Amino acid sequence: MKPIWDAVVGFGPQVFVWLGDNVYGDNKRPFRVFGRDRTVGPWKNAPRFYPSTEEELRRRYQLARAQPGYARLRETAQVIGTWDDHDYGLNDAGKEFSGKVITQRLLLDFLDEPEDSKRRKQAGVYASYMFGPEGKRVKVILLDTRYHRDPLLSDGTILGDPQWQWLERELHGPQSEITIIGSSIQVVSNLSATTGPLFYVESWARFPRERERLFRLIDSSKRPGVIFISGDVHFGEITRFDCGAQYPSYDVTSSGLTQSVDNAVPEVFQPLMRLLAVLTPTTMRVLSPNCLYKSCTTGQPNFGAIEIDWNAVPLRIKLELKDVEGRSVHSVEFPISELQFSDGHPIKRQSHTFQRHCTLETELPLLTRYRLALMLFVTIAVFVVAVVLLAVTCLSNFTKSSKKSKKE
């Protein structure tokens, strides 16, 4: 596989942002339903994932730093970042993970964080940065969605009170033309609502009160130009939510720098994965005839890119996903003025009426929402019926042949 670092360096970013799963710091037991160590199924008696030792995780960071392409990137761009579950230390882990103090130190070492940095003294790796001169300022806010996160399905907190207070100060602080909020998990999309019960992924939508609080905070801050960037799901897409804050909320999900959906399956099954991406119901994904793939997603290794044209009148911003060749997979371009508060009324969700970029995935009709699961169950049922009919036919023919042989 061609390293994606060549394409990233070729793009020439001024700032590069890690959004988590920067290395895989946990280990995975075999997929096993039966036997001594059963990792899946109703008789599961051992966790599928378990943490690495401190030495193992440090070695994996060293291997990542030693990548020639990444070394070149560090020479030309400022590298910043946060973490997700696998470099935090354990798949899907939250505040209960006992090794987080050690893994925080190792992540900050990997990012060359100064020894006297506040990030080394606080509980969590959240941070903010301001780039550019007056009139061309870009603020980057990196969230920590792991250190204080309550268990999944609890609808508790993702950030925890200290980080919420910090985020409020950051959003109410010095203004910038663009504010990029980096979250390791998706903010806008709720993929689990349409892929369950087949599989689930983490997102802010699984903590609905926290997501609502995030949009209310953006509104109360009156901060223009907020854009989200996210990772985690092993594919790339651009989503948009018009009914959260008082202007459209874009989320550029770039996931697949280290792991991607298509590379996890044999090449012969990759067209099937793309078909499933088309069939998966979505209300938030930005669709365009200019996408490289019909679904406007990519399961190939990819990276996200944000370009701002400071010379354009009005100022324009381009959100884009690129592949290992540096080709554009999907892009959205619009005036920055679209991300401004206005005196008009924000778009409101209309009950029982479908609104693109507004209707939540959980509000879709059941037959639409669970389309994938229904298709799979119907396919399995047809297959089982076909096998049974084939077996009955074969048995019937065998019985007839036996009777005929006896008569002869």
pLDDT average, residue stretch 248-265: 89
pLDDT digit string (tens) for 52-75?
999 999 999 999 999 999 999 999
* Tens of pLDDT, residues 263-305: 888 888 889 999 999 999 999 999 999 999 999 999 999 999 9
33-37, 106-110, 217-221: segment of lowest average pLDDT: 33-37
Distance (Å, rounded) from C-alpha 381 to C-alpha 394?
20
Gap between the Cα atoms of 340 and 346, Å rounded? 11
User: Residue 108 has which token pair?
Assistant: 């900050």
Whole-angstrom distance, CA of residue 52 vs CA of residue 368: 41
Q: How many CB atoms neighbour CB 40 within 10 A?
A: 13
Res 1 pLDDT > 50:
no
**Which pLDDT score is estimated for 3?**
80
Average pLDDT rounded to a whole number, residues 228-256: 96
The pair of three-digit structure tokens given for residue 111, joined into one six-digit string: 């990012």
Q: How would you label 285-311 residue by residue, b for 16+ Cβ within 10 Å and e otherwise?
A: bbeeeebbeebbbbbbbbbbbbebeee
HEC assignment per residue over 1-15: CCCCHHHHHHHCCCE
Do the Cβ atoms of 127 and 112 come closer than 8 Å? no
pLDDT recorded at residue 32: 87
pLDDT at 347: 61
Residue-wise pLDDT tens digits, 337-376: 999 998 655 566 666 678 999 999 999 999 999 999 999 9
Whether residue 48 contacts residue 39, with contact meaning beta carbons closer than 8 Å, is answered with yes
Share of the chain above pLDDT 70, in %: 96
Question: Tokens at residue 215, please?
Answer: 């949009």
Question: Mean pLDDT across the stretch 389-395?
Answer: 93
Q: 197: buried, middle or exposed (CB in 10 Å: 19+, 13-18, 0-12)?
A: exposed
Report the mean per-residue pLDDT for the chain.
Answer: 93
Average pLDDT over residues 292-321: 96
Q: What integer pLDDT is reported at residue 266 of this predicted model? A: 87
Element (H, E) at 274: helix 270-279
pLDDT at residue 374, as a whole number:
94
Per-residue pLDDT band at 144 (split at 50, 70, 90): very high
pLDDT, tens only, 192-206: 999 999 989 999 999
Q: From CA 17, how far away is CA 34, in angstroms rounded?
A: 42
Q: What is the CATH number of domain 3-364?
A: 3.60.21.70
Contact between 37 and 46 (Cβ < 8 Å)? yes
Q: What is the pLDDT of residue 343?
A: 65
Q: Mean per-residue pLDDT for 27-34?
A: 89
Report the pLDDT value the prediction gives residue 351, as an integer from 0 to 100. 61
Do the Cβ atoms of 299 and 270 come closer than 8 Å? yes
Between β-strands 49-51 and 15-19, what pairing exists: parallel, antiparallel or unpaired? unpaired
Listed residue (258, 248, 237) closest to 304, CA to CA? 237
d(CA 330, CA 200): 24
Query: Is residue 143 very low, low, confident or very high in pLDDT (cuts 50, 70, 90)?
Result: very high
Residue-wise pLDDT tens digits, 203-216: 999 999 999 999 99
Among the listed ranges 162-166, 303-307, 356-360, 403-407, which one has the minimum average pLDDT value? 403-407
Write the pLDDT tens digit of every residue in 32-47. 888 888 888 888 888 8
